[in-house]
């Protein structure tokens, strides 16, 4: 059973005994938000990231979820993507397609991936234009508080350096305020060319989930969540900058990732 509490500034924290428990809780949450969004406005707009997050979503393709989720109402986006071919092993699209999207009944026209045949800058521009068109047609909800889309759910993994999406510590992309999607040609982590949602878009979502697993994430989790003196290392940590303006923020982690959280002891 997850150990759960709410931090006044950094959202709800759920620490799980193991990855199996985390995966079940995460998939339950996704299914719950999907159902609520479809009831409210007829569709479910979800933005994915890459990495181990997709594997943790794997139970969605199994009973009962593959039968009870209304896949025809899903619209799938990417919070970040590597600017590589769609069949490249580094592609977040390929990872999601191979492990999730090809195994459920999401309409292909509802899968909104980047143009992988152009530069990173052009890919970001085109992706933002496509999202703006979907806001205009009200497929994607508009935020009441900003000039941004309001995705129903944005799913983010977190790196050991505290990066989320392709927003890395001390990178200029963190400062982009006017664009919904920006680009990198110098990512600290390969491949160097990427597109990413900007912080204003992430923080305009109805729900944001950050997933962190493994002991290598423990220090970044501590810096992102705990009350700390005004240390530059924590204030510039991208994961700590994820603070939805009116939406929900939930952290899903396993015990090793949560092991350095202040004042929290796990029972043996």
Nearest to 268 by CA among 252, 258, 254, 255: 255
245 CB burial (10 A radius; 0-12, 13-18, 19+): middle
First to last CA, the chain: 14
Q: What is the mean pLDDT of residues 15-40?
A: 97
Does residue 237 sit in helix, strand or coil?
coil
Question: Does residue 160 have a cis bond before it (omega within 30 degrees)?
Answer: no
| CA–CA gap between residue 33 and residue 108 (Å, rounded) | 21
Q: Which tokens is 130 given? A: 């496509």
Q: What percent of the chain has pLDDT over 90?
A: 88
Do 33 and 153 meet the contact criterion of CB atoms below 8 Å apart?
yes
pLDDT at 195: 98
| CA–CA gap between residue 217 and residue 203 (Å, rounded) | 22
Do 7 and 222 meet the contact criterion of CB atoms below 8 Å apart?
no
pTM of the model: 0.95
Residue 228: pLDDT band (50, 70, 90) is confident
Taking the CB of residue 109, how many other CB atoms lie within 10 A of it? 7
Q: Which tokens is 205 given? A: 């979502």
pLDDT at 199: 98
Domains of the chain, earliest start first:
11-254 (3.40.50.1360)
Tell me the average pLDDT of the chain. Answer: 94
**Res. 91: pLDDT tops 50:** yes
């Amino acid at each position: 059973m997850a150990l759960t509490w709410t931090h006044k500034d950094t959202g709800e924290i759920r620490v799980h005994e193991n990855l199996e428990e985390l995966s079940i809780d995460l998939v339950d949450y996704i299914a719950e938000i999907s159902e609520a969004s479809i009831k409210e406005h007829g569709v479910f707009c979800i933005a994915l990231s890459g990495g181990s997050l997709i594997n943790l979503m794997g139970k969605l393709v199994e009973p009962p979820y593959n039968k009870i989720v209304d896949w025809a109402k899903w619209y799938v986006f990417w919070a970040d993507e590597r600017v590589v071919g769609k069949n490249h092993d580094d592609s977040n699209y390929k990872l999601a397609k191979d492990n999730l999207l090809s195994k459920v009944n999401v309409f292909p026209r509802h899968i909104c991936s980047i143009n992988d045949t152009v530069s990173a800058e052009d890919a970001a521009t085109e992706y933002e234009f496509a999202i703006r068109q979907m806001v205009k047609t009200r497929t994607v909800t508009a935020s009441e508080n900003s000039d941004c889309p309001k995705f129903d759910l944005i799913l983010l993994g977190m790196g050991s350096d505290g990066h989320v999406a392709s927003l890395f510590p001390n990178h200029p992309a963190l400062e982009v305020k006017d664009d919904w999607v920006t680009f990198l040609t110098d990512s600290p982590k390969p491949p160097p060319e990427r597109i990413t949602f900007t912080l204003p878009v992430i923080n305009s979502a109805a729900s944001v989930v950050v997933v962190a697993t493994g002991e290598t994430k423990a220090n970044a989790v501590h810096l992102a969540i705990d009350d700390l003196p005004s240390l530059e290392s924590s204030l510039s940590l991208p994961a700590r900058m994820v603070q939805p303006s009116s939406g929900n923020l939930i952290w899903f982690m396993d015990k090793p990732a949560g092991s350095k959280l202040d004042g929290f002891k796990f029972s043996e």
